[in-house]
């Protein structure tokens, strides 16, 4: 049969690709958690690769240029997109999170250059691990500042 | 006024493209040449009309009419004029208009070609192009109006309207917010248009494919007609991707060029199907096989192009969190779904007409290896797609959102990329129809041994890293095989035609543009692979805080911090610029100026690296921190990125390869087509 060798070859390749995808997924999976979720499942997530999202609290940002150590705190923001929309969009949610002293917070440590976008009310999306000391050690830090695009119009608007 | 005018023009163009669709469909079914001609003219009219709307928007941007929301959002007084113009695609609404403009330009170009032999395709090409155009125009008209103006309503809130509610007063801010500083880089000015050019030009081959499916003319005519389109589309898309990488390297200041970010992947996915398509159409042309598959590929490419525009444009994915949160999200999904289902239904309808004319016999034949190439590209696509949608899947099934980062893509894709490289080395030497281990082995053993020797040399002089050695072996192997192919062809011609070797070489390439252009592209890919291997496997970094006069050391380099200054730049940004003297093994080789720019209006910092680039490595310095008042000195982060320059070098050779492959003249196909057209005209003149 001329066809069978093609079928076997194709099946072998598909199996290899499926193996690559499954095993790489297992190795590289990062659990996406909110601050509340991390606090609730503290013990079970200890040595896992995590992805954490939160609102940056501007007053807590500290940077030591000698060691390039950056520390700051993030406040809980909902992880579900529908929730964020229901609460008036990302900018409003971040603002509310930062203004609310009762919100759950977590301390973050990151070593590296100070990111350009780090400021109060930015959304930080961090990849890293939760230490036994309750501090989140970030290896990667992404920032999003919706305020820049959705801020209210300036006061000095004038009528022609 | 100008804003209302622009909006009006968009409305008219939208209605016009609806009319073109109706007239073309009507004309096809009633065999009315008049109706089709009317549709064609309407299609031709869209380009000047959208140009007019675009000109209005550009005028508004340049004049700084901040009453218009889009102008307010992307420009400011301090921006130079060229940036005000390029701000056209600096925001969502404008870039959708830019998309429509390109779409109508390409549709016009396609409609203007000589249709003599292919007139039955025309109505359906018009329909597909107009449907796509109408969709993007509708997005502009309904959701993302670039001409909406700011009003204050009676309850005090300010919002943008095209049709202001009663009692609202116009608001004219004194200054705009200005273009995002990240987008004020030359790379970022060219990168989105190139990517869009690539995206949009794939609509044309898709339109011809659909026309072929509907009319039932399912031979390879549609492929031959759009071969050059697909090549240019592929070139633009590839260059858009490379330029995006270059921009990231120059501006984003993380020492890298590609981060497997969902937005990058969104642009990469149509490239994968487009590349597979480019290869598999050759099998249809040469052997009459894989016809159904080619249809699948072009349909997928179109869907991924729209999907890519949606992901890159809607801004939803810069947060890994969000999928459709913008107002245009649902419309995109509906449009992608509807066009995809329709296309697949048409394909199934013609499934039996698209059966292969020959059977694949040998596992090592050229066509089997091309099939394998397609399988590998699709595997990379599946990996990428899986990675992008995995958070959604995991949340759906486990309630837990799990994402996968760059390690996933790197681990899953590297073996696939290696297999593709190996294939690039073997396939050019295998024969159509039938090849055996023996014939292939005879052709391959010399380049394989030479590549092996090269790798041994690398082992003793450069690195013992096993993945790097495999990579370098494959690079050598492909380059040697490809050069050998050039040499073999040129020698044969030299003997047969009694020409000088280089004359023979250039004529050989000129007569087989696609083949040898393709080989040049293969070599360029290998150069890029060298750069990727270098930066991915051998990047080294250090960081430290130093006083003026002190230095940092990394690899062979010593970087002496000489001076720093803070001053105000031309457009109001505050520039902090350091002077670094670079020594290599004690010899001064370069002076670098890493800097940070602070944009007051956007309250944003930009960290611009200082880079010394050679073929061996790049020294890449970032100014991390410096305060004038503090005595602790300045903090720098330094990367040495070996071989990364080969990546950019390869992209230039790539450009050359595509130009060789796609150059219009001396192409036997178009020459015969022209001759046939001439013949056809003579016949019609005779009767």
Quick check: A130 contacting B, CB < 8 Å? no
Interatomic CA distance for residues B117 and A73, integer angstroms: 69
**A2 found inside a domain:** no
For the segment B317-366, what is each residue's pLDDT rounded down to a tens digit?
443 333 334 567 778 889 999 999 999 999 999 988 888 888 777 788 88
**A99 found inside a domain:** yes
CB-facing half-sphere around the CA of B430: CA atoms within 13 A: 21
Interatomic CA distance for residues B135 and B124, integer angstroms: 16
In chain A, what are the helix, strand and coil shares in percent, each to the nearest 5?
Answer: 35, 30, 35
Cα three-residue angle B189-B310-B332, rounded to 5 degrees: 145
Residue B174: closest CA among chain A residues belongs to which residue?
A157
Question: Which of B69, B330, B402, B437 would best serve as a mutation to test chain A binding (most A beta carbons within 10 A)?
Answer: B402
Q: State whether A32 and B401 contact (CB < 8 Å).
A: yes
Dihedral angle sign, alpha carbons of residues B397, B403, B407, B408: positive
Q: State whether A20 and B415 contact (CB < 8 Å).
A: yes
Interatomic CA distance for residues B370 and B363, integer angstroms: 11
Residue A149: closest CA among chain B residues belongs to which residue?
B73
DSSP string spanning B68-129? Answer: BHHHHHH--TTS-HHHHHHGGGSSHHHHHHHHHHHHHHHHHHHHHS--GGGTTTHHHHHHHH
- Least Cα separation, residue A38 to chain B (angstroms): 12
Q: State whether B172 and A112 contact (CB < 8 Å).
A: no
Dihedral angle sign, alpha carbons of residues B655, B658, B664, B668: positive
Q: What residues contact A133, with CB distance under 8 A and at least 6 apart? A: none
Element (H, E) at B197: helix B186-201
**A133 found inside a domain:** yes
Given a contact cutoff of 8 angstroms between Cβ atoms, the answer to whether B71 and B94 are in contact is: no
Quick check: A88 contacting B, CB < 8 Å? no
Q: State whether A66 and B368 contact (CB < 8 Å).
A: no
Indicate the residue of B169, B321, B390 with minimum beta-carbon distance to A79.
Answer: B321
State the pLDDT at residue B545: 86
Indicate the residue of B73, B320, B376 with minimum beta-carbon distance to A125.
Answer: B320
DSSP string spanning B284-312? Answer: HHHHS--HHHHHHHHHHHHHHHHHHHHHH
Interatomic CA distance for residues B440 and B429, integer angstroms: 7
Indicate the residue of B171, B363, B404 with minimum beta-carbon distance to A153.
Answer: B171
**A155 found inside a domain:** no
Quick check: A31 contacting B, CB < 8 Å? yes
**A18 found inside a domain:** no
**A55 found inside a domain:** yes
User: How many beta-carbon pairs under 8 angstroms link A with B?
Assistant: 159
Residue A128: closest CA among chain B residues belongs to which residue?
B405
CATH number of the domain within which A112 lies: 2.40.50.140
Question: Which of B164, B369, B408, B627 would best serve as a mutation to test chain A binding (most A beta carbons within 10 A)?
Answer: B408
- All residues of chain A having their beta carbon less than 8 Å from the beta carbon of residue B606 are 116
State the pLDDT at residue A149: 39
Q: What residues contact B638, with CB distance under 8 A and at least 6 apart? A: B541, B542, B543, B552, B554, B557, B559, B619, B620, B621, B622
SS3 labels along B313-334: HHCCCCCCCCCCCCCCHHHHHH
Residue A86: closest CA among chain B residues belongs to which residue?
B325
What is the domain range of residue A137? Answer: 30-150
A108 — phi, psi (to 5°)? -120, 135
Q: What residues contact B72, with CB distance under 8 A and at least 6 apart? A: B66, B150, B173, B176, B177
Quick check: A8 contacting B, CB < 8 Å? no
Given a contact cutoff of 8 angstroms between Cβ atoms, the answer to whether B150 and B171 are in contact is: yes
- Least Cα separation, residue A69 to chain B (angstroms): 12
Give the residues of chain B that fall short of pLDDT 50: 316-325, 667-687
Q: State whether A113 and B632 contact (CB < 8 Å).
A: no
- Least Cα separation, residue A75 to chain B (angstroms): 16
**A156 found inside a domain:** no
Give the residues of chain A that fall short of pLDDT 50: 1, 147-160
Indicate the residue of B171, B376, B545 with minimum beta-carbon distance to A65.
Answer: B545
- Least Cα separation, residue A47 to chain B (angstroms): 15
Calculate helix-pair angle for B645-662, B221-247, nearest 10 degrees: 160
Question: Please, which residues bridge with residue B554 across strands?
Answer: B557
ipTM exceeds 0.90, yes or no: no
Per-residue burial over A92-119, b = 16 or more CB atoms within 10 Å of its CB, e = otherwise: ebbbbbbeeeebbbbebbbebbbbbbbb
- All residues of chain A having their beta carbon less than 8 Å from the beta carbon of residue B171 are 153, 157-159
State the pLDDT at residue B630: 67
What Cα–Cα distance (Å) separates residue B284 from each residue in B288, B295, B464, B615?
A: 4, 11, 43, 40
* The token pair that represents B65 in the structure block: 């009419």
Q: How buried is residue B175: exposed, middle or buried, by Cβ count under 10 Å (0-12/13-18/19+)?
A: middle
Indicate the residue of B372, B391, B412 with minimum beta-carbon distance to A24.
Answer: B412
Strand duo B574-584 + B587-592: pairing:
antiparallel
Say how many domains are in chain A: 1
Indicate the residue of B360, B407, B622 with minimum beta-carbon distance to A113.
Answer: B622
Indicate the residue of A24, A116, A119 with minimum beta-carbon distance to B411.
Answer: A24
- Least Cα separation, residue A34 to chain B (angstroms): 10
For the segment A7-35, what is each residue's pLDDT rounded down to a tens digit?
888 889 899 999 999 999 888 888 888 88
The one-character DSSP state at A82 is H
Quick check: A2 contacting B, CB < 8 Å? yes
Question: Which of B256, B293, B404 would best serve as a mutation to test chain A binding (most A beta carbons within 10 A)?
Answer: B404
- All residues of chain B having their beta carbon less than 8 Å from the beta carbon of residue A6 are 360, 363, 368
Calculate helix-pair angle for B92-112, B186-201, nearest 10 degrees: 50
Cα three-residue angle B250-B255-B258, rounded to 5 degrees: 80
Cβ neighbours around B344 below 10 Å, total: 15
What Cα–Cα distance (Å) separates residue B577 from each residue in B111, B434, B637, B682?
A: 53, 64, 14, 71
Strand duo A50-56 + A29-34: pairing:
parallel
- Shortest CA distance to B204 belongs to which of B92, B90, B113, B138? B113
- Least Cα separation, residue B622 to chain A (angstroms): 9
**A48 found inside a domain:** yes
State the pLDDT at residue B25: 95
């Amino acid at each position: 049969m001329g066809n069978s060798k093609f079928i076997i070859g194709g099946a072998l390749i598909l199996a290899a690709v499926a193996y690559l995808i499954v095993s790489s997924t297992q190795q590289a999976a990062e659990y996406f958690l909110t601050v509340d979720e991390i606090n609730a499942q503290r013990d079970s997530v200890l040595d896992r690769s995590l992805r954490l999202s939160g609102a940056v609290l501007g007053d807590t940002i500290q940077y030591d240029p000698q060691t390039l150590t950056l520390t700051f705190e993030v406040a809980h923001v909902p992880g579900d997109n529908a929730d964020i929309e229901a609460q008036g969009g990302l900018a409003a949610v971040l603002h509310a999170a930062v203004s609310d002293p009762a919100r759950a917070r977590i301390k973050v440590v990151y070593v590296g250059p100070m990111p350009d976008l780090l400021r109060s009310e930015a959304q930080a999306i961090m990849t890293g691990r939760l230490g036994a000391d309750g501090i989140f050690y970030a290896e990667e830090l992404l920032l999003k500042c919706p305020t820049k695009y959705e801020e209210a119009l300036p006061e000095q608007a004038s009528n022609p | 006024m100008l804003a209302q005018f622009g909006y009006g023009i968009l409305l008219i163009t939208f209605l016009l493209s609806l009319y073109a669709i109706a007239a073309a469909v009507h004309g096809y079914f009633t065999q009315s040449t008049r109706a089709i001609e009317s549709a064609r003219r309407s299609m031709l009219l869209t380009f000047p009309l959208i140009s007019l709307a675009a000109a209005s928007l550009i005028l508004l941007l340049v004049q700084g009419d901040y009453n218009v929301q889009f102008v307010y959002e992307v420009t400011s007084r301090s921006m130079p004029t060229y940036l005000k113009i390029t701000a056209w695609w600096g925001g969502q609404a404008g870039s959708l208009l830019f998309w429509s403009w390109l779409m109508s330009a390409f549709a016009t170009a396609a409609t203007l070609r000589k249709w003599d032999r292919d007139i039955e395709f025309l109505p359906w090409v018009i329909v597909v192009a107009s449907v796509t155009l109408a969709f993007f125009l509708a997005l502009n008209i309904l959701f993302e109006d670039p001409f909406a103006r700011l009003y204050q309503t009676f309850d005090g809130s300010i919002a943008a309207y095209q049709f202001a509610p009663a009692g609202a007063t116009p608001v004219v801010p004194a200054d705009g917010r200005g273009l995002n500083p990240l987008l004020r880089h030359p790379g970022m000015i060219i990168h989105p248009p190139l990517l869009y050019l690539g995206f949009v030009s794939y609509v044309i081959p898709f339109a011809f494919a659909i026309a072929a499916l509907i009319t039932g003319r399912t031979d390879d005519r549609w492929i031959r007609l759009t071969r050059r389109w697909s090549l240019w589309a592929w070139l633009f898309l590839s260059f858009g991707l490379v330029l995006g990488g270059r921009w990231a390297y120059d501006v984003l200041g993380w020492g890298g060029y590609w981060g497997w970010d969902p937005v990058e992947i969104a642009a990469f996915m149509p490239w994968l199907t487009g590349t597979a398509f480019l290869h598999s159409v050759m099998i249809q042309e040469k052997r009459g096989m894989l016809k159904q598959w080619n249809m699948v590929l072009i349909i997928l490419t179109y869907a991924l192009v729209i999907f890519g525009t949606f992901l890159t444009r809607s801004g939803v994915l810069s947060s890994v969190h969000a999928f459709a949160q913008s107002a245009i999200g649902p419309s995109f999904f509906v449009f992608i779904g509807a066009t995809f289902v329709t296309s697949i239904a048409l394909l199934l309808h013609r499934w039996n007409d698209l059966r292969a004319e020959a059977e694949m016999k040998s596992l090592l034949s050229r066509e089997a290896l091309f099939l394998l190439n397609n399988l590998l590209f699709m595997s990379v696509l599946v990996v990428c797609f899986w990675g992008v949608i995995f958070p959604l899947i995991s949340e759906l099934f486990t309630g837990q959102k799990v994402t996968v980062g760059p390690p996933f893509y790197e681990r899953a894709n590297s073996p696939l990329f290696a297999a593709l490289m190996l294939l690039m080395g073997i396939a050019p030497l295998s024969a159509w129809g039938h090849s055996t281990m023996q014939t292939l082995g005879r052709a391959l053993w010399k380049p394989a041994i030479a590549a092996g020797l090269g790798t041994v040399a690398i082992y003793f002089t450069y690195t013992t890293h096993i993945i790097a050695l495999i990579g370098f072996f494959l690079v050598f192997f492909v380059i040697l095989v490809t050069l050998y192919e050039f040499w073999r062809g040129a020698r044969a011609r030299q003997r047969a035609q009694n020409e000088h070797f280089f004359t023979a070489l250039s004529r050989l390439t000129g007569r087989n543009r696609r083949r040898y252009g393709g080989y040049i592209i293969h070599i360029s890919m290998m150069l890029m692979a060298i750069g990727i291997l270098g930066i991915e496997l051998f990047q080294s970094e250090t960081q430290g805080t130093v006083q003026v006069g002190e230095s940092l050391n990394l690899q062979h380099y010593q970087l002496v911090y000489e001076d720093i200054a803070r001053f105000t730049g031309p457009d109001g940004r505050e520039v902090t610029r350091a002077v670094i003297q670079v020594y290599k093994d004690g010899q001064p080789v370069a002076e670098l100026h890493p800097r940070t720019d602070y944009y007051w209006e956007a309250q944003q910092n930009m960290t611009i690296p200082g880079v010394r680039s050679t073929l061996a490595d790049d020294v890449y310095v970032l100014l991390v921190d410096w305060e004038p008042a503090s005595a602790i000195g300045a903090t720098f982060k330094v990367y040495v990125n070996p071989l990364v320059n080969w990546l950019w070098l390869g992209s230039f050779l790539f450009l050359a390869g595509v130009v060789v492959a796609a150059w219009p003249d001396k192409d036997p196909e178009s020459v015969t087509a022209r001759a046939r057209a001439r013949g056809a005209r003579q016949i019609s003149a005779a009767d």
